[in-house]
Amino acid sequence: MEKVVVLGIGNILLSDEGLGVRAVERLRREFSIPEEVSLMDGGTLGLDLLFHIEGADRLLVTDAVLGGRPPGSLYRLKGEEVFAHLRNRLSAHQIGFQDVLALLELKGRSPSEIVVIGLEPADLRPGTELSPLIEERIPLLVEECVKQLELWGVKLKRRCGVC
């Protein structure tokens, strides 16, 4: 059985910067998660994430993506696009996360596939709430994560309380 990690990264104290964490929280709340899938709030842990994702066969990351598109735009990054995204980011959690991926590769423990699904943020000012636009787009982000997991053979079951 393959081990899959769904990792939300970002700083929840900077409004939309925390959208990846908020997406993982919503996945946890709305779906029953099979035992081979770990949902993780990676926040701004940086190198501390190494222990949690080492040995994962597949890694799905949810994050704010600064790609220059209009706020709320959806991104799906794979392969070299993931590393290009991380190189273009200056926040502390991203630099640390790039280091985590490099260390996993050096140890020969990299996931066979890494996908980043994210949204272009609308507001990165201090605040613990997502901007209204991004709050409205979080269900789309969550559904894209569910689709990616299904592509990997993981079936999530929606909890009846949120049907």
pTM of structure: 0.89
Report the number of distinct structural domains present in the chain.
1
pLDDT in tens, the chain (163 residues): 789 999 999 899 999 999 999 999 999 999 999 999 999 998 877 777 888 888 899 999 999 998 899 999 999 999 878 877 666 554 444 456 777 877 888 888 888 899 999 999 999 999 999 999 999 999 999 999 999 999 999 999 998 765 5
Beta strands in 10-124 (DSSP E): 31-32, 37-43, 58-64, 74-78, 113-119
- Its domain, for residue 63, covers 4-162
**Residue 46 token pair:** 């940086």
Q: What are phi and psi of 108, to 5 degrees?
A: 70, 25
Which CATH number characterizes residue 158's domain? 3.40.50.1450
Query: How many whole angstroms separate alpha carbon 142 and alpha carbon 47?
Result: 25
